[in-house]
Structures are given as structure tokens and as C-alpha cells.
Chains A and B, each alone.
Chain A
Amino acid sequence: MIATILTMAAMGLILGLFLGISAHYLKVEAEPIVEEITAMLPGSNCGQCGFPGCTQAAAAIANREAPITLCPPGGKGVIDSLATRLGIDAPIGTAEMMPMLAYVREETCIGCTRCSKVCPTDAIVGAPKQIHAVINGACNGCRLCVDVCPTECLQLLPETISLDNWRWQRPAVAAAA
């Protein structure tokens, strides 16, 4: 009886010590997946997902607390990267997503340059008192410019469809006969 208790206690001590040491020496600094996911997100810290920035959003995605569809500027590219990395399927409807881009309503732009200053990708060109314009290829629809525009002349609209980005639509599913 006593021998058993002693043996068990000794085993507990030794194993506990082993675990303690290994926890110290083999410590994982930060979850590597969070870093990986952060690298997949745009990094513009626009806040449209509801998190303060892309790093916090990445942590939430890694903990399965946020859906992979949380990033509107990232669009289907980010969804696809995340789905592949996390081993899950991109949700149905990803195909129908259209990227949103900023467009300047030229009749109300007063050339205040506020939008070009906040743009994280330098996608807005313009000088003081000149009408501004958005370079479509550099805009990812982060919305930061929309919020600072004093005349509400900036708006997010779905990307214009041309022959270059036109794709076949999903066939309409026939109603069950």
C-alpha cells in the first residue's frame, strides 16, 4: 500500500518535472498560424471586419471565432487563400462576390486631398482644388476614403464589368419538377 503510494507519487513528480522542463524549453512563442493568416489579409487595417486591425482579425480567424468571409476588401482571393490554408471549403456564394471599388463623383469633388492622404495603397491621385480620381487596379475598397470625404463624393461600387473581367455566371438551378 505505502509502496504503491510512494511509487505513484515518485512517478507523478518525475513526469511533472519532465513536463515542466519541456514546457519551458519547447515553448511556442506565438501561434504561427496567426502570423500566416495575417500575411494573407490585406494589411490596410480598415476595420470593416469589426476588429481593430488585420492582426486581431487573423487571431480571431485562427481561433475559429470569426468566419473566413470577414474581410470585404480581400474578397474571394483572401477567402480562397484562407480556405486552402485552414482546410475548409469556401462557402457557397463566393463565386457571386464582386469586388467593391471606390469611385469619385466628379461633380461634387472639391479637391480637398483628405482621401488621398488616408488611402493606404496610394490609389487616389489628385492635387489641392483638383478633381481626384481612383486608380482601379490599386484600390481594394477599404472604405477609409469614404469616411473622410466631406462632400460624400466618394462611394464604393461593385467593379465595372468589362470584357476583361467578365465571367460565365453559375447556371440557374432548375426548380425540382
Chain B
Amino acid sequence: MSTVSLKMAVQSLLRTRGGVHPPECKDTAAMPIQTIPTPTRLYLPLKQHIGASAKPDVVPLQLIRKGQILAHSQGSVSAHVHAPCSGHIADIVEHPAPHPSGLPMPTLEIENDGRDDMDEMPVAKHPHMLEPEDIVARVQAAGIVGLGGATFPSAVKMNLGQRKIVDTLVINGCECEPYLTCDDRLMQERPAAIADGIRIMAQALNIVGVPDVIIAIENNTPAAIAAMREATAGWRHVEVAPVPTQYPMGAEKQLVRFLTGREVPATKLLADVGVLVQNVGTAYAVHQALRDGLPLTHRIITVAGDAVERPGNYEVPIGMRVSDVLAHCGLRVDPARVVMGGPMMGNALSNPNAPVVKGTSGILALSADELKSAAERPCIRCAACVDACPMGLLPVTMATLLKSDKLDEAMGIGLSDCISCAACSYACPSNIPLVHYFNFGKGEFVARREAKRKDEEIRRLIEEHRTRVATVEREKAEAAAKRKAAMEKQKAEKEAA
């Protein structure tokens, strides 16, 4: 056993918890990235990120150029939306969102004129030598969000480096979800661009010194590891670290714990332990924005699943409907389920007209054979879920508490720390939809908190209403008294005269 794999084995033993090994199904890893031509209509949701919805700057029928900002970010956590093609705004409509509910959200509908008249962003001559604030501003102007799936606005994340001491930048190349290979292919085909993006992001964190950079890649993708090693050969502070193939290795907290041994306390951020994690796709987007002046308007997605005729990795414009993507790739059979994202944490789409958004890493058209649809059976208390949980929680206990609505007790044993990775549901031999219970519980917790906030607001409004009514009545009474006094005075004067 070589020293590298020995080190990894020891790290695995000491620094990982739980995890599962679902079948990889990564046949698309060998397929080069292809480009899908921009369709005639694009649907750009105004909110493709965590935070506040962007506010449109355009009106229907307005002509637009490729790369133009169509909607500006609002508030401190938000991101711009740019045009992936030239043409005009057909309408601003309520269009189905790529969300498990399938509910609509405000969306810009764009008619593509096929000319691709481009507005490029201004680029600096040496973007990796800019001031950190300048890099963050440029990243924000490009509308970049975390492309690993969480879609947290990247500029906000990079700004954390200004407020907290970040000594390690982890580049996440672990694609632990089955089927997905878009990051793997990106690293194999465009390692130099990713490396450049990493260099720029490291410079953005160069406040008290250059941070150490660890590029973490799962050891089932040796071609990507080799490509990234070659692209960063001879760079100081940069290390390519192969990590064991296991789900959920690509989850931030798990990855950081494995690489650095640092664990994030509950309710704290990774930046609190001095680490920032960025996806390789994000690094590529940063490179494109700062070197080539291209805002985030396209991304690479994996299209896979048994129902797909021509699976593979495709570079698609953001805003393309899933149905259009599947039409381009062809369908062998009618898919039993269309999933956006990976099979573990992705969303089953109820409406295939939902568009590809910034956070879409893949589209899976699954056939009936691929779905695990066995009926739920009673819990046999085998604790397979406890062994699988990467956060060290007790899924079986939390689910039992949630079944009887004991929400506070479930929160008390760490429901808020659940990362919804679905490793417990995968491990359960009784097919209990454990992660569904936790999503329900966390949603209900938020709903109660919101309800309490509204109750407080209502009490304040009632109090203000009472004060207002009392003031109006007092003023009326005072005015009446004044009138009466004046009348009496007049009367008295008359009588005196």
C-alpha cells in the first residue's frame, strides 16, 4: 500500500462518519462535452439562487443583447440574471419553477433572434493580480452563484474572506451523486481554465496572506485528478487531494472534515473554522467572467438515465426548458420520472417545462426499472440509517418523533443539523422515506417560526390600530368641546350686548 492510500485510509477512519456507496452509473464520464444550440425561447427565472429575487430591468418587447443584465440583484444576498442570447423579451410571466412543488415563479421569457450580438464585460489585463474587493465586485457583476447545487451567491461567499480569517480554500471536485459527471468532464477537458479561476479566487482571499488551496477530487475519477495535477504543477500553496469515493463526500462539511479535520459547530458557517469551499464549476465560471468577460449564462449539465437516447455532458444556455433538452438528447422510452440534479438530492420535476437554472447539475430521465419503488415496511430498528448518517444523527429516532408531531424534541436531537443528503433513506432496508420526514420537519419548523413572527406583527398592528382609534376619538371630543366653548362664549357675548 502506497503512503498516499495509507494516509487516505487513516483519514477515512478518523475523519468520516457514515456515508453510503450507491451504484455509480457514471457512464457519461467518457463522453466529451457537447454544445446544445440555443432554442428559440428561453425562460429565465428571476430567482435562481439562495436569497432575494432579482428585480427585472427590462420590459416586454425590449430588445436585448447577449450578456446584458436583465435583472439586478436585490439586497445583500442575491445575484444578477444575464441574457444567454440576443433577441427580445417576449413577456414576464409566471412559469413553472424547477422546484419539487412545480409552482410557478416570475420568469423572463426571451425570444432568441439567433444573432448572438454580444455585450462583453470589461476585463482586466491581469485579473489574478487585482485587489480582492475588485475581484469580488467583478464576480458579483457576472451573476455567479455556487454551481455545485446550493446556488449561494459567490460574491457574498468570497466577501466572507474580508470579515473572517480564511486560511484554506477547498475546491470541490467531488461529484458524489451517482450519474453526474459534468464536473469530472470539465476537469478533464478544461483544467487550465479551472486552475486560472482557482488562482483568481485565491487572490480574492489574499487578505492576510495567500490561502492554502486544496483541490479535492474523488479517487474514482483518475483522469480528472491527473489533469488538475498537470494544470497546477509547480504551484505553491496548491494541492490536489484524492478523496475516497463515497456518498456524500462532496457535502461541504463532510469534505472539510475529511481534508482538514475541522468540524463546523451547529449553526456556524464553514468560514467560522477558516475554510471556504467553492465548486470546480464555480472556478470555471470565475475564469470565464474575469478573463473573457462572459457572465454566467451557460453551464455544463449531465443528461443521463435509462430513458435517454443520447446521454452525455452538454453545455446549455441557462433558461432552456428541460423538455427542450430532453428533445435534443432524444428519449428511448417515456421516462417514469424526470429528476433535476442527482438521484440522491435532486428534485423530481412535476412539470418538464421547468427551465435549466444556474444550480442545475444534471437532468435524469429515469426509466421505471431504475426507480426504487418498493413499498414502505415497518421499521425493524436495525440502525442502518444511524450508521449511514454523515452528520452523526439518529434518523430512526427523529423520524419516530416527527411521526407523532414531536417537533421540538426532534429539533432537540439535531434535526436542524440534517443536511438532507438522503443517505439514511438509501440505507433503510424497510424503504422508510426518512429524509422526507426531515424535510417535512424542517419545513414545519420554519412555518411555525414564520407564524410566530406574523402573530407578533398582528399584535403590533392591533396595538397601533387601538392607539389610532383612541387618538381620533380624543381629537374629535376635543374639537367638539372647543366648538361648544366657542358657541357659549358667543352666546354670552350676545346676551351681554
Spell out A's residues near B (CB within 8 Å). 40, 42-44, 73-78, 80-81, 84, 89-95, 99, 119-123, 137-138, 140, 161-163, 165-171, 173-174, 176-177
Does A177 lie within 8 Å of B377, measured CB to CB?
Answer: yes
B406 partner, pick from A89, A121, A162, A170, beta carbons under 8 A: A89
Task: Give the distance in Å from the alpha carbon of A90 to the alpha carbon of B452 in the complex.
Answer: 14
| Residue B405 lies at the interface, judged by CB distance under 8 Å to chain A | yes
Once A163-B97, A163-B103, A166-B103 are accepted as A-B contacts, the answer to whether A42 and B459 lie under 8 Å apart by CB is yes
Residue B41, interface by CB 8 Å: no
Q: Least Cβ distance of B264 to chain A in Å?
A: 24
Please tell me if B462 contacts chain A, counting CB pairs below 8 Å: yes
Interface on B for A, CB 8 Å cutoff?
97, 99-101, 103, 105, 375-378, 402-408, 433, 436-437, 439-440, 442-444, 446-448, 450-455, 457-459, 461-465, 468
* B-chain residues with CB within 8 Å of residue A73 when the two chains form the complex: 458
Residue numbers in B under 8 Å from A43 (CB-CB) = 459, 462-463
Report the bound CA distance from A80 to B447 in whole Å: 11
- Whether the pair B459, A76 counts as a contact (CB closer than 8 A) is no
CB neighbours (8 Å) of B436 from chain A are 168, 171
Majority-rule SS of A interface residues: loop
The smallest beta-carbon distance between A85 and chain B, in angstroms, is 12
Given A76-B447, A120-B465, A122-B464, decide whether A168 and B440 contact each other with a Cβ distance below 8 A. yes
Q: Which residue of B lies closest to A75 (CB)?
A: B451
With contacts A78-B451, A119-B465, A162-B103 known, what are 5 further pairs, Cβ within 8 A? A73-B458, A89-B406, A95-B447, A140-B454, A163-B97
Q: A77-B452, A78-B455, A173-B403 are in contact. Are A42 and B447 (CB under 8 A)?
A: no
| A165 with B451, Cβ < 8 A, contacts A122-B465, A171-B440 known | no
**B289 CB → nearest A CB, Å:** 28
Interface secondary structure of B, over-half rule: helix
- Kindly provide the distance from the CB of A96 to the nearest chain B CB, expressed in whole angstroms: 10
- Identify which of B375, B433, B442, B459 gathers the most chain A CB atoms within 10 Å of its CB: B459
- Which chain B residues lie closer than 8 Å to A162 at the CB level? 103
* Bound complex: CA A28 to CA B141 (Å): 64
CB distance from A169 to the nearest CB of B (A): 7
Closest beta carbon of chain A to B122's beta carbon, Å:
35
User: Which listed residue, B378, B453, B461, touches A122 by the CB 8 Å rule?
Assistant: B461
With both chains docked as a complex, state the minimum distance between the C-beta of A173 and any C-beta of chain B, in angstroms.
Answer: 7
A89 & B405 in contact (Cβ 8 Å cutoff): yes
- Shortest A48–chain B CB gap in Å is 14
Is the beta-carbon distance between A167 and B446 smaller than 8 angstroms?
Answer: yes
Residues on A with beta carbons closer than 8 Å to the beta carbon of B105: 163
Which residues from chain B contact A95 at a C-beta distance below 8 Å?
Answer: 405, 407, 440, 444, 447
- Chain A proximity of B484: nearest CB distance (Å): 26
Chain A residues contacting B463 (CB-CB under 8 Å) are 43
Closest to A71 in B: B455
Question: CB < 8 Å: which of B443, B458, B464 contacts A167?
Answer: B443
Q: How far is the CA of A4 from the CA of B444 in the complex (A)?
A: 66
Q: A76-B447, A93-B405 are in contact. Are A168 and B454 (CB under 8 A)?
A: no
**Max chain B Cβ within 10 angstroms of own Cβ: one of A92, A162, A163:** A163
B409 to chain A, nearest CB (A): 9
Q: List A contacts of B407 (CB < 8 A).
A: 90, 95
Q: How far is the CA of A73 from the CA of B99 in the complex (A)?
A: 30
